[in-house]
Amino acid sequence: MPVFLDTTSPDFEPAFQTLLSAKREDSPDVDAVVAQIIEDVRSRGDAAVIELTAKFDRLQLAPGTLAFSAAEIAEAAAQVSQQDRAALELAADRIRAYHEKQMPADHEWTDEVGATLGWRWSAVSAAGLYVPGGLASYPSSVLMNAIPAKVAGVKRLAIAVPTPDGQVNPLVLMAAQLSGVDEIYRIGGAQAIAALAYGTETIAPVDKITGPGNAFVAAAKRRVFGKVGIDMIAGPSEILVIADKDNDPDWIALDLLSQAEHDESAQSILITDDAAFGQTVAQAVEKRLETLQRRAIAGPSWRDFGAVITVRDLDEAAALSNRIAPEHLELCVTDPVGLSTKTIHAGAIFLGQYTPEAIGDYVGGPNHVLPTARSARFSSGLSVMDFLKRTTLSQMTPQALRAIGPAAARLAQSESLEAHGLSVLARLDRLND
């Protein structure tokens, strides 16, 4: 049974606190193993990657076969049904169109003292994208990571995807092809992250690594951070649905289950201003759980971490939503746009009853890589910004230096940084000659 809470109950606050602080994930501590793997790949390169792939993926590779060949990719793509290809293309087009609008502009201006200031954006030169193998090998995640990188202007985009026993999902290769990925390596785990970060004889190092992965991949990303940039370390998925009674309870139940089916540690929460509606939705969830293919995953998630919260009104719902700071937030209410201006801490908002969260996982356009575990309070989903960096620009004229240089020299002196001050004063001396 999920937990049922009611804000009018005197023990609501401690119960809500418990819900907020529930620890949903116990990551195994694989840091020592991962440190060894990284060291091994750094010192022995391809040889280490090949040995580790034989060990973990039961796949014997040679340096020349680490990467998929163009012929192999074409062959895999040919296996994809016309319907799947069309769906992937529609998704890719929409994701590309959305992310193209995110591209930030360079800016430059001259201010009142004559200083020219500004900034310029540029793409990272090379990026690596990790794609999990097996069950969680999602072609949609390839699109969501690779397209923003290519829109940002990343010249060289490499994918690492493990192929246990040589098995690969043809849709993953096709998604890579549609996204313009340049290199695809059939390697995985910490060894793949190490190879991307430090390079081997056949794999050139990248500057940034993104993409989801298991505990080994996450630990390896943490370890190579600094040598390369990384994206967030994602936790289990979450959805918060705020719904009034004018909704089909089965639709809401399916929306809750669409996160629950990801992972036993996923969390689905319903907030409603109608207690009876909450009960009806909970019954609809149980009914769907009787037949759902992934009920062995969705069931424990819903029972262990699910919640139905009854509130007095939607303002209270917004306040609770901001404390939860959900990854996904569905607003199934009469005025979803109005309510969305109050729910400011959320990774992605889905407005109205015709916008199930699953649309955003595939074809909506916005990215589906989003902040989990309340981190929407301070971070954003993946975007073109993750593959860009900003260089600031300053140019003083003699006039500008005369106007603001003395203040710089004064502050340098107050911080006991003499050379800082002298570098300004030596120039002012000449100008004032």
Number of alpha carbons in the 13 Å side-chain half-sphere of residue 263: 15
* Smallest separation, CB 315 to a second copy (Å): 17
Select the residue interacting with a second copy from 86, 276, 296, 319 (CB under 8 A).
Answer: 86
Q: Which of 61, 66, 73, 124 binds a second copy (CB under 8 A)?
A: 124
Q: Is 148 in the site for a second copy (CB under 8 A)?
A: no
> CA-CA distance, 51 to 281, in Å (whole number)?
51
Q: Does 194 bind a second copy (CB under 8 A)?
A: no
Question: Any contact of residue 104 with a second copy (CB under 8 A)?
Answer: yes
The closest alpha carbon to 121, from 106, 107, 100, belongs to 106
130 is in an annotated binding site: yes
Name the residue nearer to a second copy (CB basis): 112 or 313: 112
Locus of tokens 């994809």: 80
Q: Which of these ranges, 7-15, 54-62, 65-73, 391-399, lies near a second copy under the rule CB under 8 A?
A: 391-399
C-alpha distances (whole Å) from 378 to each of 18, 180, 289, 371, 373 are 21, 31, 34, 9, 11
- Cα–Cα distance measured from residue 191 to residue 147, given in angstroms and rounded to the nearest whole number: 24
CB of 86 to a second copy, least distance (A): 7
User: Which part of the chain contacts a second copy (CB under 8 A), choosing from 70-78, 243-251, 269-277, 306-314?
Assistant: 243-251
- Cβ closest to a second copy, residue 9 vs residue 394: 394
From residue 17, alpha-carbon distances to 4, 20, 216 in Å are 14, 5, 31
Side-chain-side CA neighbours of residue 223 (13 Å):
26
237 is in an annotated binding site: yes
**Out of 37, 41, 67, 88, the residue judged to bind a second copy by CB under 8 A:** 88
By C-alpha distance, which of 276, 266, 278, 267 is closest to 242? 278
> CA angle at residue 144 from 139 to 150, to 5 degrees?
110
CA–CA separation, 315 and 294 (whole Å): 35
| 404 belongs to the binding site for a second copy (CB under 8 A) | yes
Separation between Cα atoms, residue 59 and residue 51, nearest integer Å:
9
Contact 258, 239 (CB under 8 A): yes
141: which strand partners?
none
For residue 28, the SS3 value is coil
Q: Is 361 annotated as a binding residue?
A: yes
Contact 226, 198 (CB under 8 A): no
Closer residue to a second copy, CB minimum distance, 35 or 373: 373
* Using rule CB under 8 A, residue 119 touches a second copy: yes
Residue 220: CB minimum distance to a second copy, A? 16
The verdict on whether residue 81 carries a ligand-binding annotation is: no
Q: Smallest gap, in angstroms, from Cβ of residue 62 to a second copy?
A: 28
Segment 283-322, which members bind a second copy (CB under 8 A)? 288, 292-294, 298
Out of 10, 165, 430, 432, the residue judged to bind a second copy by CB under 8 A: 430
Give, as ranges, the residues between 196 and 225 that touch a second copy (CB under 8 A). 207-208
Binding part of the chain for a second copy, among 9-17, 34-42, 45-53, 254-262 by CB under 8 A, reads 254-262
Least gap, CB of 188 to a second copy (angstroms)? 18
**Residue 391 structure tokens:** 């260089």
Q: Near a second copy by CB under 8 A, which window of 71-79, 156-164, 269-277, 342-350?
A: 342-350
Looking only at Cα atoms, what is the longest distance across the chain?
88
Residue selected from 15, 281, 408, 432 as contacting a second copy according to rule CB under 8 A: 408
Grouping H, G, I as helix, E, B as strand and the rest as coil, residue 89 is helix
**Residue numbers annotated as active site:** 327-328
400 sits near a second copy (criterion: CB under 8 A)? yes
Q: Name the 3-class secondary structure at 236.
A: coil
d(Cα 393, Cα 110) in Å, to the nearest integer?
11
Is 198 labelled a binding residue?
no
Q: x/- string (CB under 8 A) for a second copy, residues 345-384?
A: xxxxxxxxxxxxxxxxxxxxxxx---x-x-xxxxxxx-x-
CB of 50 to a second copy, least distance (A): 25
Beta strand spans in 256-339 (E):
267-272, 307-310, 328-332
Is residue 351 within 8 A of residue 331, CB to CB? The reply is yes
Does 278 bind a second copy (CB under 8 A)? Our answer is: no
264 binds a second copy (CB under 8 A): no
Return the residues of window 34-73 that contact a second copy according to CB under 8 A.
none
Nearer to a second copy, 66 or 123 (CB): 123
Task: Find the radius of gyration of the CA atoms of the chain.
Answer: 26
CA 365/CA 375 separation, integer angstroms? 22
254 touches a second copy by CB under 8 A: yes
User: Which of 191, 197, 262, 317 forms a contact with a second copy (CB under 8 A)?
Assistant: 262
What residues are designated binding site for Zn(2+)? 259, 262, 361, 420
